[in-house]
Structure 1
């Protein structure tokens, strides 16, 4: 593999990180999406100064959404 291939891969990965960062920065300002991560079905266990958080419903919702998007995009 040539160096130009890896350069393109790093540029694409960097652009994806920038887009994800911008999305996370804008997330609190988008109505309805600010609840993402605090949905009913997300498991939070607090005991003393120990907090265990497992976003079960958020994970299922994001998985469903990504599956639908990829199904539509990759359809031939």
Structure 2
């Protein structure tokens, strides 16, 4: 039962962190937005780079415990 509570706390912490960073996704400097009339085209270039770096670090860290 102790392991289950630790897993729930870890999942809750991860959701809290992801929710915090979801506020900033798409609003970083370097993301390109074109608006013309009723059409909006969005290129989240910097956001994709940041997400890629973070996921690479996370998977690298988790890969060490294998």
TM superposition score category, shorter chain reference: 0.5 to 0.7
RMSD, matched Cα: 2.0
- In the TM superposition, 1:26-45 aligns within 5 A as 27=19, 30=20, 33=21, 34-45=23-34
Q: Which runs of 4+ in 1 moved over 6 A?
A: none
CA displacement 1:11-37 (0-9 Å, x = unmatched)? xxxxxxxx8xxx4xx72xx3xx21221
More relative contact order, 1 or 2 (CA 8 Å, 6+ apart) = 2
SS in structure 1 of the partner of residue 53 of structure 2: helix
Tell me, which stretches of 5 or more residues in structure 1 are unaligned? 1-18
Taking structure 1 as the reference length, the TM-score comes to 0.56
Taking structure 2 as the reference length, the TM-score comes to 0.63
In structure 2, distance between residues paired with 1:72 and 1:56: 25
Tell me, which stretches of 5 or more residues in structure 2 are unaligned? 1-10
